[in-house]
Structure 1
Amino acid sequence: MKWVGGKRQLLPELAKHVPEHFGTYFEPFLGGGAFLLTLSAENAVINDFNPELVISWLMVRDKPEELLKQLKQHQLNHSKEYYLHLREADRDGRLEKMTLVQRAARFIYMNKTGFNGLWRVNKKGQNNVPFGSYNKPNIADKDTIKTVSRYLNDATIKITNADFEKVVLDAQTGDFVYFDPPYIPISETSSFTAYSSDFGYDQQVRLRDVFVRLHQKGVHVMLSNSDVPLIEELYGHIEGIVIDHVSVTRMVGAKASSRKKVGEVIVHG
């Protein structure tokens, strides 16, 4: 899936800090799952606060053939009008009547065809992402869905939809936790965006506290975020924790040409 803040660009840097041996892998902010799929952990607990995203991961695991059938229908019907009609499903009562497979197919279709792969909702929980102009969006990606489905079934993967703190309660010494929260804004005009619009300063502090508790418990911990002064304030004085500064190419505007290097951090210990 496309995902704002997706980790494909950062994967080589993240890989440098993966422990050689670890028990269960935890990823409380899953998003598009690029790091999970690269890591291919045999035992994992994965989570996201976005219920539509979690439903999609579950259906990829449990009902890939039915999901692909629904996606093929979306591909056949694809148009701006069709996209906007399907977007209205969370306003006119259709969403609640859909099966889980139908909801997953709607989510994946809108992710593949919405503007810049955004998934954004208003305060009422209604998607408000404009239609994206793509020539040939790969909506029914058979190979990827089947490959991911096999992995999710062959490994021991628990998929949840909960608060990040609850997800890591069972993490033990020797386990590995990677946090990829909504990033701290890099300017005063930015805001905590994506689907977790409520993930503000207080939540970042709570996340830091969870990070420290896990570290003191002997859990391998890693976190990515924006390279901003607040990171140093939150994590800079924790014994045994290192902050690495990296730069990645990110989309920063509406056009593909508007890409630039932006500073990010990997906090680990």
Structure 2
Amino acid sequence: METTTMASVAAAPILKWAGGKRQLLPRLLASQPPSWNRYLEPFAGGAALFFALSRPEAYLSDTNGDLIRLYQVVRDRVEDLIGRLTAIQTAYRALLPEDQAAFFYALRDRYNARQADDLEQSALFFALGRLAFNGLYRVSATGRYNTPFGRYKNPDIVRAETLRAAHQVLQDATIVEADYRAAGTAAQRSDLIYVDPPYAPASKTANFTSYTADGFGWKDQVALAEWVREMAGRGVYVMASNADVPEIHQLYRGLWIQVVPVRRAINSDASKRTGATEVIITTYPVEGAVRG
């Protein structure tokens, strides 16, 4: 494990991720059980709640392998990663504005070629997130990153202090590429699992729920709800987020549900970033929650 400079900022998500939970953190933190042991987050994404809790020996997993490898690299080789990102940033800033788009697409092609080692692939993954339009991570049906260039003049591609802060809190974390069922195997009585899956669509057009090429459909939602109840039966605390739609309320009937306001942060049209609601579901009573 490498030695790194101590971070001077508090730990926070290192990248923008669709469905990120930064704005809901106060409600999520208030919805914890009074006392619990280990923290597990099987749909890690941006891991906002993990970074806010900063609990040691946490368990993070996701089916997005590049995301998981990035967290592993931040945990184990953060200074090497910062070095690679610094080189990318220096090269980008030296270009004329009319040449920066070509630079971005060359990075994207290298990323999609998947011939780099974990360190280089993670640097490309992170840098693309800093340069892509609206910071959006999106893949095609074949798994190729296809977000266009964001045309940022002077972006902070490196985010060194944020990466170092994340490095500190990830030191004792177990980080694995796996679906949520693996977290169930790792969980023990009185642990807390936070489940933040791709959401059930709120409308026919609201289908931006696939951050991996294989998607997450209604059968997966049903299986996940059954798994949540299974975990509760084993004495594991579970908190879940999902869309505020009747189907989800019915699926989690008998558990505690809070309806919370949110503002969608990722949309190509700023005028469409309107208010909405979603739900926080818990297998234990929470003040302000209603049992479904």
**Shorter-chain TM band:** over 0.9
Query: Residue 23 of structure 1 contacts residue 43 of structure 1 at CA under 8 Å; is this kept in 2?
Result: no
SS of residue paired to 2:84: helix
SS of residue paired to 2:110: helix
SS of residue paired to 2:59: strand
2:138 counterpart (120, 130, 135):
120
Q: 1:5 Cα shift?
A: 1.0
2:174 counterpart (158, 162, 171):
158
Matches within 5 A, 1:11-50: 11-50=25-64
State the alpha-carbon separation in 2 of the partners of residues 199 and 262 from structure 1: 21
Query: Residue 47 of structure 1 contacts residue 164 of structure 1 at CA under 8 Å; is this kept in 2?
Result: yes
Which residue pairs with 2:289 in the alignment?
none
Which residue pairs with 1:191 in the alignment?
207
State the alpha-carbon separation in 1 of the partners of residues 149 and 23 from structure 2: 25
Which residue pairs with 1:81 in the alignment?
102
Letter in 2 for 1:262: A
State the alpha-carbon separation in 2 of the partners of residues 134 and 192 from structure 1: 24
Aligned length: 261
Query: Residue 134 of structure 2 contacts residue 266 of structure 2 at CA under 8 Å; is this kept in 1?
Result: no
2:105 is the counterpart of 1:105: no
TM-score, normalised via structure 2 length = 0.85
Which residue pairs with 1:144 in the alignment?
162
Q: 1:247 Cα shift?
A: 0.4
SS of residue paired to 2:23: coil
Consecutive unaligned residues in structure 2, runs of 5 or more: 1-14, 93-99, 284-292
Cα RMSD of the aligned pairs, angstroms, is 1.5
Consecutive unaligned residues in structure 1, runs of 5 or more: none
Q: Deviations over 1:187-207 (max 9, x none)?
A: 012225331352010111111
Letter in 2 for 1:128: N
SS of residue paired to 1:43: coil
State the alpha-carbon separation in 2 of the partners of residues 207 and 136 from structure 1: 42
- Which range is displaced more, 113-122 or 49-58? 113-122
Large movers: runs of 4+ above 3 Å: 255-258
Q: 1:21 Cα shift?
A: 1.9
State the alpha-carbon separation in 1 of the partners of residues 199 and 231 from structure 2: 20
Q: 1:258 Cα shift?
A: 4.0
Query: Residue 192 of structure 1 contacts residue 200 of structure 1 at CA under 8 Å; is this kept in 2?
Result: no
Which residue pairs with 1:223 in the alignment?
240
Q: 1:189 to 1:260 in 2, by over 3 A?
A: closer
State the alpha-carbon separation in 1 of the partners of residues 129 and 266 from structure 2: 18
State the alpha-carbon separation in 2 of the partners of residues 242 and 177 from structure 1: 15
Letter in 2 for 1:134: Y
2:189 counterpart (173, 177, 181):
173
State the alpha-carbon separation in 1 of the partners of residues 197 and 28 from structure 2: 15
Identity, % of aligned positions: 37
SS of residue paired to 2:264: strand
Letter in 1 for 2:170: L
Q: 1:73 Cα shift?
A: 1.4
TM-score, normalised via structure 1 length = 0.92
